[in-house]
């Protein structure tokens, strides 16, 4: 059985890049850590909130790489000379990726009470009407 792709539909022209984005998103390997919310704050804006308790601003990095929002966290091991009787709070690193559509821009990022908020806005789509002249052949 052959795998159906967007290229196998003759009326969908130029969507190969969308198919690549879907495949990349499926392979991103996002586990459940850290937990996150995505909320729509208006018709053209969104907010991603990650629960990053224990991480400071210096432990986090936010980049946009090839239309992907990448949020990374790396905690420093601060257990030098400390004796733990129980260690249930793990220092771990993470990478969380979100695929961005064309026209979505990353705004500001704010840390608040152990939550990292990243605001996104989508530009209003322009309506383009193009008239094609028919020449006599």
Distance CA 41, CA 90 (A): 33
Residues 14-40, mean pLDDT to the nearest whole number: 74
Kindly tell me the sign of the dihedral angle through the C-alpha atoms of 26, 30, 31, 34. Answer: negative
Beta strands in the chain (DSSP E): 36-42, 45-51, 60-65, 68-73, 94-99, 104-112, 115-122
Return the higher-pLDDT residue of 63 and 77.
Answer: 63
Query: Per residue in 87-122, pLDDT tens?
Result: 877 778 999 999 898 889 999 999 999 999 999 999
According to the model, what pLDDT value does residue 75 have? 82
All structural domains of the chain, each given as residue ranges with its CATH number in brackets, are: 31-76+88-125 (2.60.40.790)
According to the model, what pLDDT value does residue 126 have? 82
Please return the burial class of 52, using the count of CB atoms within 10 Å of its CB with bins 0-12, 13-18 and 19+: buried
Does pLDDT of 45 surpass 80? yes
Give the H/E segment covering residue 133. Answer: none
């Amino acid at each position: 059985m052959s795998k159906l792709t967007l290229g196998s539909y003759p009326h969908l022209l130029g969507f190969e890049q969308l198919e690549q984005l879907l495949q990349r998103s499926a392979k991103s390997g996002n586990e459940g850590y850290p937990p996150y919310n995505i909320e729509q704050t208006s018709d053209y804006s969104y907010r991603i909130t990650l629960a990053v308790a224990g991480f400071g601003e210096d432990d986090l990095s936010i980049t946009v790489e090839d239309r992907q929002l990448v949020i990374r966290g790396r905690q420093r091991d601060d257990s030098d000379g400390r004796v733990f009787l129980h260690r249930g709070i793990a220092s771990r690193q993470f990478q969380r990726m979100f695929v961005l559509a064309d026209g979505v821009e990353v705004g500001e990022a704010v840390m608040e009470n152990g939550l990292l908020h990243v605001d996104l806005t989508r530009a209003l789509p322009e309506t383009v009407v193009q008239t094609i002249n028919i020449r006599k052949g």
